[in-house]
Every structure is written in structure tokens, then in C-alpha cells.
């Protein structure tokens, strides 16, 4: 990726963290413990995507892919 991609990604992440702590944060309501971790939902989404990729690769290797000689007859 080009350098400006990384710069824009970092700026978006920083802006998201700032908005999360200022606008979306409402201290008057009781909130669960994970709401106090900065960037929790971003990390949760990232780890979820990694999990989907790993599971789909495992399924593809174990269930979908066949041996090269599968259709040659036995």
C-alpha cells in the first residue's frame, strides 16, 4: 500500500477514538466494562475478521479442496 493509505488509516483511527471518547461517551448512564476500553469495538471487529478468515481457510482445506487425482477414478 502507498504511504498516504497508511496516513489516512491512522487519521481515521485517531478520529474514531477521539469521537468515541467525546461524543459517544455518556457518563450519566451505567455502561459495561468494555465501553471503558479505548478502541474496543475497532479491535473486536479486526479480530472478528481475522477469525472469519482463519475459519474459512480451514474449512476450505479440510472440506472443499479435493486431491488432484480425485476425478481420475480409483
Q: Which pLDDT score is estimated for 65?
A: 82
Q: Where are the domains of the chain?
A: 1-32, 39-74
How large is the average pLDDT for residues 17-32? Answer: 74
pLDDT for 74 beyond 80: no
DSSP codes, 22-48? HTS--TTS---GGGGSTTHHHHHHHHH
**Cα(17)–Cα(9) distance, rounded to whole angstroms?**
12
- 39 with 17: CB under 8 angstroms? yes
How large is the average pLDDT for residues 28-47? Answer: 82
Handedness of CA 34, 40, 45, 47 (dihedral sign): negative
Q: Residues 44-65: pLDDT tens digits? A: 999 999 999 999 999 998 888 8
Residues 6+ apart with CB under 8 A from 46: none
Amino acid at each position: 500500500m502507498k504511504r498516504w493509505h497508511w496516513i489516512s488509516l491512522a487519521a481515521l483511527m485517531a478520529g474514531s477514538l477521539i469521537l468515541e471518547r467525546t461524543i459517544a461517551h455518556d457518563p450519566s448512564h451505567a455502561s459495561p466494562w468494555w465501553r471503558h476500553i479505548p478502541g474496543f469495538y475497532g479491535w473486536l471487529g479486526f479480530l472478528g475478521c481475522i477469525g472469519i478468515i482463519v475459519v474459512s481457510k480451514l474449512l476450505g482445506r479440510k472440506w472443499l479442496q479435493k486431491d488432484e487425482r480425485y476425478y481420475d477414478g480409483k
